[in-house]
Amino acid sequence: MNIPDVILKRWSPRAFRNDPIPKEHLKLMLEAARLAPSSMNEQPWLFFVGLKGDVTWQKIFETLMEFNQLWAVNAPVLIMAAGRKTYTVKDIGENDAWAYDTGQAVAYLSLTAMHLGVFTHQMGGFDKIKAAQAFQLPQDTEPLVIIAAGYKAEPSILPPKIAALEVGPKPRRSLDSIVFGDEYGKPLNL
Ligand SMILES: Cc1cc2nc3c(=O)[nH]c(=O)nc-3n(C[C@H](O)[C@H](O)[C@H](O)COP(=O)(O)O)c2cc1C
């Protein structure tokens, strides 16, 4: 038994090749997101998909903070994920799980991308107000994250300071510090 390969292989590069993602692969990534579970099966996620050279890509790109623009400029695909904050399946008002659910759908998308050899890099560093305006989102719908997707390139295509980040460690917290049994802070011995 092992952790699935797509989880072990996934990481968030900043150096992307210009090569486009085949449309059928992009569609599979979005289909996977569509299949994610959600509170009351509301499926609050929405995806705006930009292909390099089109108006959507440009609109998404222009909302990114400068640091992210420096590397995401090479990404052949930029996807903005947004979430609807009210329930529509039943008239029960606010949906507390909108961001949780949308994040989960993005995880499905990212792992399916990896399964297809496509790397993704999520970005919270963008102007959400500008993005909401650019896509004329309804009042109850909020941008959450922008996902750069494509194939990995050599770090040397990046400005040196950003290239250095490609090889740095991405440490994770130990299981002991996040998995508890009967008491907060008391590691569970598995
Ligand atoms: C919600 C979210 C927002 C992020 N925002 C940015 C960002 O604005 N710019 C960036 O370069 N990386 C961003 N990242 C990438 C994280 O820094 C990265 O996922 C984390 O360091 C773990 O590295 P790994 O994905 O390579 O395993 C973001 C990731 C997530 C999930």
Asked if 46 contacts 82 with a C-beta cutoff of 8 angstroms, the reply is: yes
Q: Is the CB of 63 under 6 A from ligand 1?
A: no
Q: Is the CB of 97 under 6 A from ligand 1?
A: no
Number of other residues whose CB lies within 10 A of the CB of residue 168 = 7
pLDDT reported for residue 70:
98
Tens-place pLDDT, residues 69-78: 999 999 999 9
Tens-place pLDDT, residues 125-147: 999 999 999 999 999 999 999 99
Query: Which ligand 1 atom is nearest residue 165's CA?
Result: 11
Please state which of the ranges 11-20, 88-97, 105-114, 175-184 shows the lowest mean pLDDT.
Answer: 88-97
pLDDT reported for residue 30:
99
Asked if 51 contacts 22 with a C-beta cutoff of 8 angstroms, the reply is: no
Q: If you measure from the C-alpha of residue 82 to the centroid of ligand 1, how many angstroms do you get, rounded to a whole number?
A: 17
pLDDT reported for residue 187:
95
> Which string of DSSP letters, residue by residue, matches 62-131?
HHB-HHHHHHHTT-SEEEEEEEE-B-SSSS--B-TTHHHHHHHHHHHHHHHHHHTT-EEEEE--B-HHHH
Whose CA is closest to atom 21 on ligand 1?
A: 170
Q: If you measure from the C-alpha of residue 13 to the centroid of ligand 1, how many angstroms do you get, rounded to a whole number?
A: 9
Q: Which domains does the chain have, with CATH numbers?
A: 5-155 (3.40.109.10)
Alpha helices (H) in 116-188, listed in sequence order: 128-134, 160-165, 175-178
Tell me the average pLDDT across 1-30.
Answer: 97
Q: What would the two tokens of residue 165 be?
A: 């980040």
pLDDT reported for residue 92:
81
Whose CA is closest to atom 1 on ligand 1?
A: 124
In which band, very low, low, confident or very high, does the pLDDT at 171 lie, cut at 50, 70 and 90? very high
Q: Is the CB of 181 under 6 A from ligand 1?
A: no
The helices-and-strands tally (H runs, E runs) of the chain is 8, 4
Q: Is the CB of 125 under 6 A from ligand 1?
A: yes
Q: Is the CB of 122 under 6 A from ligand 1?
A: yes
